[in-house]
Amino acid sequence: MSRTIITGIDVGTTTVRVAVCEPRPEDGERAFSLLGYGASLAGGMRRGAVIDVADAAASIRVAVARASQHAGVAIDHAQVGFGGVGFGSVAANGVVVISRADGEISEGDVERAHAAARANLPTMHNREIMHELMVAYTVDKESGVMQPLGMIGNRLEAEVLYLTAFTPHLRNLVRAVEAAGIIVDDIVSSSLVSAYATLSKHQREIGVLQLNLGGETASCTVFEDGALISAHVFPIGAAHITNDIAIGFQVPLEVAEAVKVAHGVVATDEVAARRDVIRFAAWVPDIATTVSRWELAEVVEARTVDIFELVEKYLRKMGRSGLLPSGVVLSGGGAQLAGMVEFSRRTLRLPAQVGTILVLDPTHELAQDPAWAVAVGLCAWGCREGKHSRLPRLIPSKLGEYVARFLRPLIP
């Protein structure tokens, strides 16, 4: 009997991550075994989008080979995450009159409400609808209804969130993965699978922001009452901090990245940090430059302020500034920067924490590494295929076989 192997490929701006898993027959939140994983430096990428198919394919090929060797299985098909600046979301409402004489809401009424919402979407040039996510229904004057079937009423309104992709970015990603020798089983929103991997049902119910700090992008997803109510990507990320360090202290990019990882901090004690000296000669002997840890922190914090000002403005526009009880869950490589949690708590006036990958066993070596949330989340997401979900289906896109799938559940 052949084994069922599911692979998740996260093609980020700076790193390609590949995770390989095998579904387990038992149900539950962790109904899969992670067999292996591999990563490589990303090439041909900018702000989460493929700009050189050949370079991106070469990076994917290396990461896939490492994951295949680690897992001890061949990899020839995968679930692929889509994010970056080509990702977006748009909300629409659809209103219908209940068709039955007795006022009972049928499945046909729900389908008509969704069709009405799609009809009310603005014209989207060069964009694909990836996911259709139910936010809530309103039956007459009763809002916040999650399951209207069987209820009695005269009027049904569906509030729907559509996750979209810029078509050229989506097609270039598919081309790059195919050029690496991999068949694309499905394309899924990276923001969605990251949230699936790191947020608990309770957090999604009472209100939470997941902030994924990637290389050149920062992705926001906001949940309330168990539903995704908004998603957005900003074209700024942790790699911009590295660039600022390189420019500010006139050092090569690879040295700037190493210094950021080893000594970078967002919020720190000024007196102590001024006493700590960083010598760039530790990485490049012919660079005699020395700076205090405080000077480095000022550069790091200046760019981090830019990111969080955008996030705060986004929450304020939604009317959720300081009003999400579960606070902020940080993921992505940028979440590991020292002081990021405290800075987030202070800036957004919300509880904050670095997310753990909840779909993994807590003792697994990747469970505490938020940079792997998308790759592992894609595996977990794929393992849930075919199981019942209270969420609507994934709308078929023009890419046909690549994204014609049913939406997997967000709720384990």
What's the sign of the alpha-carbon dihedral 392, 411, 142, 135? negative
Residue 402 has pLDDT above 60, yes or no: no
Percent of the chain with pLDDT over 70: 92
Mention every residue, 6+ apart, whose C-beta is less than 8 A from residue 222.
Answer: 207, 208, 209, 210, 228, 229, 230, 231, 315, 318, 320, 324
Residue keyed to tokens 């922190």: 297
Mention every residue, 6+ apart, whose C-beta is less than 8 A from residue 83.
Answer: 48, 189, 190, 191, 212, 214, 217, 219, 233, 374
Domain 86-163: give its CATH code: 3.30.1490.110
pLDDT of residue 56: 97
Residue 359 has pLDDT above 60, yes or no: yes
pLDDT of residue 275: 81
Residue 406 has pLDDT above 50, yes or no: no
Region 108-120 average pLDDT: 94
Residue 100's identity, in one-letter code, is: R
Burial of 125 (0-12, 13-18, 19+ CB in 10 A): exposed
**pLDDT category, 412, cuts 50, 70, 90?**
very low
pLDDT of residue 401: 35
Side-by-side strand order, sheet with 183-189: 32-41, 15-23, 6-11, 77-82, 183-189
pLDDT of residue 180: 96
Region 68-75 average pLDDT: 95
d(CA 91, CA 115): 13
pLDDT of residue 201: 93
Region 108-126 average pLDDT: 93
Residue 347 dihedral angles phi and psi, to the nearest 5°: -75, -45
pLDDT of residue 1: 52
- The class of domain 200-357 in CATH terms is alpha beta
d(CA 191, CA 355): 14
**pLDDT tens per residue, range 284-332:** 888 888 889 889 999 999 999 999 999 999 999 999 999 999 999 999 8
Residue 23 to residues 75, 273, 300, Cα–Cα distance (Å)? 15, 48, 41
* Dihedral angle computed from the Cα positions of residues 20, 25, 26 and 28, in that order, rounded to the nearest 10 degrees: 40
pLDDT of residue 26: 66
Region 165-182 average pLDDT: 96
Region 10-16 average pLDDT: 94
pLDDT of residue 367: 92
Residue 202 has pLDDT above 50, yes or no: yes
Closest to 221 in 3D by CA, of 25, 40, 89, 399: 89
d(CA 233, CA 87): 7
pLDDT of residue 383: 85
Q: For the chain, give the mean pLDDT.
A: 88
Region 129-133 average pLDDT: 93
d(CA 306, CA 317): 17
Residue 393 has pLDDT above 50, yes or no: no
Region 6-13 average pLDDT: 95
**pLDDT category, 405, cuts 50, 70, 90?**
very low
Mention every residue, 6+ apart, whose C-beta is less than 8 A from residue 25.
Answer: none
Each domain of the chain, given as residue ranges in start order, spans 86-163, 200-357
Asked which of 28-42, 163-177, 196-210, 381-395 is least confident by mean pLDDT, the reply is 381-395
With H, G, I as helix, E, B as strand and everything else as coil, classify residue 301: helix
Closest to 79 in 3D by CA, of 239, 206, 189, 200: 189
pLDDT of residue 395: 32
pLDDT of residue 32: 87
E strands in 247-369? 277-279, 290-292, 328-331, 352-354
pLDDT of residue 388: 31
- Of the chain, the end-to-end C-alpha distance in Å amounts to 28
Helical H segments across 26-101, by residue range:
53-71
pLDDT of residue 237: 92
